[in-house]
A and B are shown apart, each in its own frame.
Chain A
Amino acid sequence: GAGVSQSPSNKVTEKGKDVELRCDPISGHTALYWYRQSLGQGLEFLIYFQGNSAPDKSGLPSDRFSAERTGGSVSTLTIQRTQQEDSAVYLCASSFRTSGSVGELFFGEGSRLTVL
């Protein structure tokens, strides 16, 4: 597609369940980012993938959170044993990043997660 695609757009789950959120970046973009947007908290960086380099996981809030990016394209963010405080909108972004420039980030419309 033309833009960053995320699925599901809405997910309601019960506390303790695992969830997977998917991101399909813009074709050809080398960098992929996950952010979490909570009310009043702005956008919290979670994880960043660039090409074949090891991902920057410094923003993941706990070991219940993990992400992978297969084939340099699609990414999945997994939250295990979900807690109510995980409720938020999870945003994915991609960019064409070189060593000299970060490039413009293009965002998907997000996956809204509600943990009951």
Chain B
Amino acid sequence: GNSVTQMEGPVTLSEEAFLTINCTYTATGYPSLFWYVQYPGEGLQLLLKATKADDKGSNKGFEATYRKETTSFHLEKGSVQVSDSAVYFCALIGQAGTALIFGKGTTLSVSS
């Protein structure tokens, strides 16, 4: 079945550091890929998405490129801020799927 694997955290960075959170997936066909973020005390919200191979999703300085050849959707940001501290979830929905399948989440902590 479909699944998502993302790097385990926590990831601890200093402000302005470069961020990569790895995400790989297993799915048949062409799934749609997502990154969701959960800030402390808040509900999950969509950060970015990509619906076909080679698409790049971007939002708030974060980017992720849908790589079919490596079945990956790594999240990157060039310069993190303290306000980026949150839990990040990679997710997919299969081509014929119904539910959004999530990874286990990666906690990011950014210090000033």
Say how far B74's CB is from chain A's closest CB, in angstroms.
17
Is the C-beta of B101 less than 8 angstroms from some C-beta in chain A? yes
B41-49, B63-71, B77-85: which lies at the A interface? Answer: B41-49
Complex Cα gap A104–B98 (Å): 13
Is the C-beta of B57 less than 8 angstroms from some C-beta in chain A? no
Is the C-beta of B17 less than 8 angstroms from some C-beta in chain A? no
For chains A and B in complex, what number of residue pairs have CB atoms within 8 angstroms? 49
Q: Report the contact-size class of chain B (Cβ under 8 Å from the partner).
A: 10 to 19
Is the C-beta of B102 less than 8 angstroms from some C-beta in chain A? yes
> Which residues between 46 and 95 of chain B lie within 8 Å of chain A, taking CB atoms?
46, 49, 89, 91, 93
Q: B89: which of A43, A45, A59, A106 is its contact (CB, 8 Å)?
A: A43
Decide yes or no: A109 and B105 within 8 Å by CB, A45-B100, A102-B32, A102-B93 being known contacts: no
By a CB distance below 8 angstroms, the chain A residues around B101 are 45
Q: A48: which of B45, B99, B102 is its contact (CB, 8 Å)?
A: B99
Complex Cα gap A43–B99 (Å): 11
Tell whether, in the assembled complex, residue B105 and residue A102 are in contact, meaning their CB atoms are under 8 Å apart: no
> Which residues between 19 and 46 of chain B lie within 8 Å of chain A, taking CB atoms?
32, 36, 42-46
By a CB distance below 8 angstroms, the chain A residues around B93 are 102
By a CB distance below 8 angstroms, the chain B residues around A109 are 42-43
Residue of A nearest to B44 (CB): A107
Tell whether, in the assembled complex, residue B46 and residue A102 are in contact, meaning their CB atoms are under 8 Å apart: no
Say how far A57's CB is from chain B's closest CB, in angstroms.
11
Is the C-beta of A71 less than 8 angstroms from some C-beta in chain B? no
Is the C-beta of A42 less than 8 angstroms from some C-beta in chain B? yes
Say how far A42's CB is from chain B's closest CB, in angstroms.
4
A74-116 Cβ-contact flags toward B at 8 Å (1 or 0): 0000000000000000010100000000101111111000000
Q: List 9 A-B contacts (CB under 8 A).
A: A40-B104, A42-B103, A43-B89, A45-B100, A59-B99, A93-B100, A102-B32, A105-B36, A109-B42
